[in-house]
């Protein structure tokens, strides 16, 4: 498998040494298309982090182990940070492609609602002093909150008209709602771009995992120390 | 479109990419700095005990 991957990637590069960094020109995006290597992993990691928060929430409810609550809380903090980063980077990109920093595109609205949902979880956590009660409520909240994530991230922006890639658009010739006529809205990557994209996604995921494990260990040790 | 800094970015869009990368790294850096602060507090507590 490794052999196939390495040879599959390296032989085309040896044959065409410059082809790996040649990206197709996407009309309307040009160099800005490279933002996708950084903006999409942040959004992806926020979904992964919220999923992990839910998984450790379920684990806590089954075992009543406070360490699982600490792990869930670390994932929540990282998820929040990555969704804020996705919002900021997205709105900077929007300024240069759509004209304004914020224009209530379905994708922007959905991440805004997600930030509100998860932001209130932090308010809930800081309002409760009792550790067990806090962990139980937070676990239940993170499970319910994650149920909305697939809708807000994957479904809602795809069934509404918008400018973000994946949205529906109105075909100017037929005036019908369609998918995939505008090159900016219907974004296609070529092979080398896809390779860089997936390497970036993978590297960001490893970075996330390391940050999560350091953060959760710090929370667990802190809690154990304060108990003694 | 617009003059000044925004106009410059408009013409040289690779700097927008650079700016966005900087935003992401500073976010990650701040998070790690915060984790480091927590670890320092733990270290201090352990030394005191």
**Contact call for B35 and A211, based on CB within 8 A:** yes
Q: Where is pLDDT greater, at A177 or A216?
A: A216
Of residues B10, B17, B42, nearest to A225 (C-beta): B42
| Cβ proximity of A122 and A76 under 8 Å | yes
Which of the residue ranges A1-5, A162-166, B3-7, B30-34 has the most confident prediction, judged by mean pLDDT? B30-34
Give the domain ranges of chain A: 36-227
Q: Considering all CA atoms of chain A, what is the largest pairwise distance in Å, rounded to the nearest integer?
A: 72
Q: Is A86 in contact with A44 (CB distance < 8 Å)?
A: no
Residue pLDDT, tens place only, A17-33: 666 566 666 666 777 88
* ∠ CA A227-B43-A210, rounded to 5°: 90
A88 to B23: CB separation less than 8 angstroms, yes or no: yes
CB–CB of A85 and B46 under 8 A?
Answer: no
For A161, which DSSP code? Answer: B
Option in B16, B24, B49 nearest A85 (CB): B24
- Name residues 53-92 of chain A within 8 A of B (Cβ): 77-78, 81, 84-85, 88-89, 92
A138-153: per-residue pLDDT in tens?
999 999 999 999 888 8
> ipTM of this complex > 0.90?
no
Cβ contact, residue pair B45, A81, below 8 Å: no
């Amino acid at each position: 498998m490794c052999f196939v991957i390495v040879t599959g990637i390296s032989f085309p590069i040896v044959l065409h040494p410059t082809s790996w960094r040649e990206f197709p020109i996407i009309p309307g995006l040009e160099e800005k298309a490279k933002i996708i290597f950084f903006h999409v992993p942040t959004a992806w990691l926020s979904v992964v982090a919220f999923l992990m928060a839910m998984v450790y929430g379920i684990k806590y409810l089954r075992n009543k182990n406070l360490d699982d609550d600490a792990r869930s809380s670390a994932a929540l903090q990282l998820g929040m940070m990555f969704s804020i980063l996705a919002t900021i980077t997205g709105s900077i990109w929007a300024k240069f492609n759509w004209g304004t920093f914020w224009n209530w595109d379905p994708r922007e609205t959905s991440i805004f609602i997600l930030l509100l949902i998860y932001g209130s979880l932090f308010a809930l956590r800081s309002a409760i002093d009792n550790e067990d009660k806090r962990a139980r409520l937070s676990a239940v909240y993170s499970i319910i909150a994650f149920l909305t994530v697939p809708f807000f991230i994957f479904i809602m922006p795809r069934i509404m008209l918008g400018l973000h890639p994946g949205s529906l658009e109105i075909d100017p010739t037929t005036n019908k709602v369609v998918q995939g006529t505008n090159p900016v809205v219907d974004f296609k990557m070529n092979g080398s771009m896809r390779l860089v994209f997936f390497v970036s996604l993978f590297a960001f995921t490893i970075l996330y995992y390391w940050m999560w494990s350091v953060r959760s260990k710090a929370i667990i040790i802190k809690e154990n120390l304060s108990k003694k | 479109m617009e003059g000044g800094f925004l106009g410059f970015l408009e013409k040289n869009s690779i700097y927008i990419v650079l700016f966005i990368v900087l935003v992401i790294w500073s976010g990650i850096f701040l998070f790690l700095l915060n984790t480091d602060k927590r670890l320092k507090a733990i270290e201090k507590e352990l030394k005191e005990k």
